[in-house]
Chain A
Amino acid sequence: MGSLLTRYRSLSFLLLLLLAQLILVAYQVKTSQDVRLLRLWTVGSVTPMARLLDSLNARASLFVKDYFLLVGVRQQNRRLVSEADRLKMENQFLRSELATADRARTLGLFQARTPSRTVAARVISTGAGATPKVVFVDRGSTAGVRAGMAVINADGVVGKVTAAYPAAAQVLLITDPNFAAGVISARNRVQGTLKGVSSSTCKVDYLQNEEKVDVGEWFYTSGEDRIFPRGLPVGQVKSVASGATFKEVMLSPSGVTRGLEEVLIVLEGVHQTLSEAEAAQPGSAPLLPVPPDEQPQAPVAVPGSSAPVVGTDADRLVDQYRKAAESRGRGYGDTPLPAKTPPVKP
């Protein structure tokens, strides 16, 4: 045995190395635990360099722009852009003043909503691999970022935080096949689960073939996943086709189409409360509560009865029949069956 190992030294070493890594993978899959120390070391050594590169790149481009390209024109352009922005805002304000009652109602709804608490972060590097679907941002646990938090930008949903390190955080992008979020369509109000696919598209899964989805229709977060607050734009439908079991709806995600530079991490979502799940998983972001219109209905109290009726449709129907029977002076279920059932025609 010993001589065999010596003879095939390289092959034995290769098999040993592969076996060790297989055991490592199996351990992580089986226990759903991460080798956090290794990740911490790697991210801790790579992200400072990426940050340095980013800073050098920004300084170099600024230097080139400021000293080699028409300094005056650049300043003038900056002033004009800010003036245009100010005028746009004024215009927007005047338009909103003249808006209809519908607009006022919408604004009222917006005002009634508590805005989510967010922190701005800059994308400093992408994940490794030939087609990375993760990015690293320059805000970590020291800024209050935790795994499981939603990541958005002005255009829509970007992804979610999968790991938070002291000075950086890993964000799983919406286009990754492992990403999932509850979504709802704007026009037809159909609900499904958003999943990433390998290219720069996403699909909405678990939609019945009978449900109506139009091309060009917008999908928003439904809040069902209790990570993304309800109402964030997700993307526009690119194609719809009937599948074997479910409808095949492909989306063009709005949050990642224009490239990623700066994002917002939702530290505290709308209507967020501390839940038991948070206590069970320290270090992870707490889940948002169920969206308001999805809250289970309060039990219906039956007059003359101490026990409330459980709020399902069947129970309410039984309750309705019971009341009808009582109004006729009979107990529910007292009606005798017909003595003879009519013969069935062949």
Chain B
Amino acid sequence: MNDSGAVLTVGSHGKKKLSRIRPWVMLVTPLVAILFQVYVPLYIPLLQHLELPLLVTLYFGIARRSPIGGALIGAGIGLVQDSLSYQPIGILGIVKTLIGYTAASLGVRLDTGHQAVRFTLGALFFLVHQLLYGALRQVLLGAPSGLDLLPTLAAALANGVVAIPLFYLLDRLKEDR
């Protein structure tokens, strides 16, 4: 991985190719994810458990494989989410910074092109996200964590499932080099 954003990926047939995330995708995707999160649950309340900004952070982290880039993207998305919520700015920023950094560090070591890996990452990182978020709220703000085990587990599975087509779609938006 270099700073221009080019990444070496291994295709389904074992072919290696160099691809790059387009700059507009880096800008538009987080915005769409946040808009989805603030608008769609108004009509389909069940979708409020879908953490698209987290999945986008995760994708950019593992695709770019740059821990610094991942942390920056995570911080940016988290801070925007914080601005739209009723809590001090920085809570979701800290959580997503850690997620972005960890995802990028894992992206170097794992074959993140495999769908089972993507499902696991989506579900696992959602759980980590919720746990960190609840813990930070409790420790820094003294607020209740609001974590319910079963709904959180169900939401983690749902996020894992959604991660597969979302990552596939974002893969299609990459440009080959």
Contact = CB atoms under 8 A, between A and B. Distances in A.
B57 interface: no
Nearest to A179: B86
A17 B43 CA distance: 36
A332 B172 CA distance: 95
A125 B41 CA distance: 8
Contacts of B71: 10, 13-14, 17
A223 B38 CA distance: 32
A132 B133 CA distance: 13
Interface residues of A, number: 51
Contact of B75 (A17, A133, A172): A17
Contact of A176 (B80, B86, B91, B94): B86
A198 B144 contact: yes
Contact of B51 (A127, A130, A172, A198): A130
B89 A128 contact: no
B130 interface: yes
Interface in B136-163: 140-141, 143-144, 146-148, 155
Tell me if B's interface is mostly helix, strand, loop or mixed: helix
Nearest to A53: B39
B143 A178 contact: yes
B88 interface: yes
Interface residues of B, number: 48
Contacts, number: 143
A123 B91 CA distance: 25
Contacts of B155: 130
Interface string A24-59: 111011000011001101110010011001100100
Interface in A159-183: 162, 170, 172, 176-178
Contact of A25 (B42, B68, B83, B88): B88
Interface of A: 9-11, 13-14, 17-18, 21-22, 24-26, 28-29, 34-35, 38-39, 41-43, 46, 49-50, 53-54, 57, 123-136, 162, 170, 172, 176-178, 198-199, 259-260
Interface of B: 34-35, 37-39, 41-43, 45, 48-49, 51, 53, 67-68, 71-72, 75, 79-86, 88-94, 97-98, 101, 105, 129-130, 133, 140-141, 143-144, 146-148, 155
